[in-house]
Each structure stands twice: as C-alpha cells, then as structure tokens.
Amino acid sequence: DGGITQSPKYLFRKEGQNVTLSCEQNLNHDAMYWYRQDPGQGLRLIYYSQIVNDFQKGDIAEGYSVSREKKESFPLTVTSAQKNPTAFYLCASSIQEGPSPLHFGNGTRLTVT
C-alpha cells in the first residue's frame, strides 16, 4: 500500500543535541511538507519542497533544516538552535496540481529534556 512512513514514532534527546526525523513516501508525490503540532495551535508549516533539490521555508523554519536529495525522502533536522523543540512533528506529501489534499504520516513525537 502507498503511504508515508515517519520514524521513529517516539524520540527522546538531551538539550543541545541535533536530531533528524525521517520521512519516506511511496506515493510518487512531487511535494513534501513538514508541520509542527502543539496543543491548541493547530499545525504550523516548517519547510516544504516542491521538487528534488529544492525547498522553501515555511512559517516557523528557524532552528530547523531539511534536505531533498530523493523524491521519496524529506528528512527534518531539529537543531540545538530550536528553542522549544518538544512537539509532535508531521510529514505530508501531495501532488502539485489542482485541489489535491495532503497525505500525512503518523507523526514523530519528539521530547527534549
């Protein structure tokens, strides 16, 4: 079955460490996205990519970095510069054209202490 795989499901890190969240899709979608979810705030866009080797900052990109070396993969690195990294992170993908919905992975819950 086609879908989006995020790993790991739960991740724990010490403050000051960088951590990379994995996102892989086999839907053959060109566009991929990373959202951050905090209670009561909905989803906020961190980064998005429309095509391989290209990506753009979203609304809250500070302290995060991404790469898009392959169509299927869009890893997110949470750096030590991110002030409040503890959150639920969601990866999504979509086709580019028309009113296409986003397809979401099951998320990674990151806890930094």
Partner 1 sequence: AQSVTQLGSHVSVSEGALVLLRCNYSSSVPPYLFWYVQYPNQGLQLLLKYTSAATLVKGINGFEAEFKKSETSFHLTKPSAHMSDAAEYFCAARPSGGYNKLIFGAGTRLAVHP
Q: In the complex, which residues of this chain contact partner 1 (CB under 8 A)?
A: 4, 6, 9, 31, 35, 40-45, 48, 50, 58, 88, 90, 92, 94-96, 98-107, 109
State in angstroms the smallest separation of the CB of 65 from partner 1.
Answer: 19
Using the minimum distance from each CB to partner 1, give the nearer residue, 16 or 101: 101
State in angstroms the smallest separation of the CB of 102 from partner 1.
Answer: 6
Radius of gyration of the chain (CA): 13
User: What token pair was written down for 101?
Assistant: 């919905």
User: What token pair was written down for 104?
Assistant: 């979401």
Q: How many CA atoms lie within 13 A of 71 on its CB side?
A: 7
